[in-house]
Each structure stands twice: as structure tokens, then as C-alpha cells.
Amino acid sequence: MGMFKRSNKTDSAGQAGERADLSVLLLQGEDMIEQVGRAHMSWGLGSADRWDLDQTTGIITWTFPDKTATAPAQILGSFAPRSDSWAWANQSLLPDMSRDSRRFCDWAEANGHPGLAQPKIDADEQTAATLAALAFRFTGATGFYKGPGANSSYVVITFGSVTLTTSDGSVSTFNIDVS
């Protein structure tokens, strides 16, 4: 796939040493997604009755019968299987909600991977998962969620510390250290 190839720029010795190996970043990203996913299952990630994302506050909320879980969130990208595309630059997103995806695109450009920084990429579901894992690894986020949409589309959301509020009003915080 062309998007995973480096540009043909000539590197100085320092630049060549600073370029990240995408295969290592991918493996790390996939591993991190798996680890944080297992950890977040302990409070119920993946089993909520509903989820909502408020772009104005940057907060994702999962609603359960006996509690809510909230966390600060970022949108990395979205996948639409009918168009086989991955979108970084969704015009319907408020700029603060896509800050991390823009940082990843800037990094990709600066490190010789301009194909990863395109606003829309022709991608099947496996390629979309690869892009999400690379971006997740880059952001250092502590949570990963594929928010389901219509017709098997989804939005990739990263999130931070989770605040759990039970129906009786008690509050606790769930943190993960991914370093």
C-alpha cells in the first residue's frame, strides 16, 4: 500500500535516526488497544446501553442502568465501509475534537509518511484498523472506543481518565497508565 511508504526525500543522518519504524509503532498500538480494552471492560466499556459524545464539552458519556461513565475524548477518525474510506479531516467535527488526529497527521508528514496524513484515505476495514492503531500509539491516550454508527460505519474515539457515577451518586475515577 502506497500510504505506508516513506517519501523519497533524502535524509540527513539525524533525520534518518529520528524516523519511527511504522511496523514497530503498529505492533505497539495494537497491543496498547488490546491492553486498555481489557482494563476498561472492568467498569463496563462495550456493554453500555448507549453512548453520547458532546463536541462542545469534549466529553464522552456511556450510560448503564446503574451508572454513567464519562471521560474527556478526542476523535481520531471515522470509517465508512460502503465507501471504503478512512477520514481524518471530517468537516463536521469541532477543531478541538480532532486535535490529536491533526497532531498525528503533522507527525506523519514530518516523518516522511505523507500518505498517512491525507484527509481521506481509500481503506478497507483492516487498513482502517491499522491507521487507528498507529494513531492511538502516537497519541498516548489511555482509552480506545469504536463508536458504532449507521450501516457498519464507526468513529474512533480516544479518551482519558473515566469518571464513574453510580445511581446513588457515589463517584470514582478509573485511570490507566500506558507508559
> Confidence class of residue 179 from pLDDT cuts 50, 70 and 90?
low
Is the predicted pLDDT of residue 53 greater than 70, yes or no? yes
Cell numbers given for 164: 464513574
Q: What is the pLDDT of residue 152?
A: 83
Note whether 86 and 78 are within 8 A (CB): yes
pLDDT, mean over the chain: 86
Is the predicted pLDDT of residue 146 greater than 90, yes or no? yes
Residue 69: enclosing H or E segment and its boundaries? strand 67-80
CA 66 to chain centre: 27
Q: Which residue would you say has higher pLDDT here, 63 or 150?
A: 63
Is the predicted pLDDT of residue 31 greater than 90, yes or no? yes
Is the predicted pLDDT of residue 44 greater than 90, yes or no? yes
* Average pLDDT rounded to a whole number, residues 133-159: 92
Phi/psi class of residue 110: alpha, beta or left (left: φ > 0; alpha: ψ in -120 to 50)?
alpha
* Average pLDDT rounded to a whole number, residues 89-113: 88
Q: What is the pLDDT of residue 100?
A: 92
Calculate what percentage of the chain has a pLDDT beyond 90.
60
Is the predicted pLDDT of residue 147 greater than 90, yes or no? yes
Predicted TM-score (pTM) of the model is 0.85
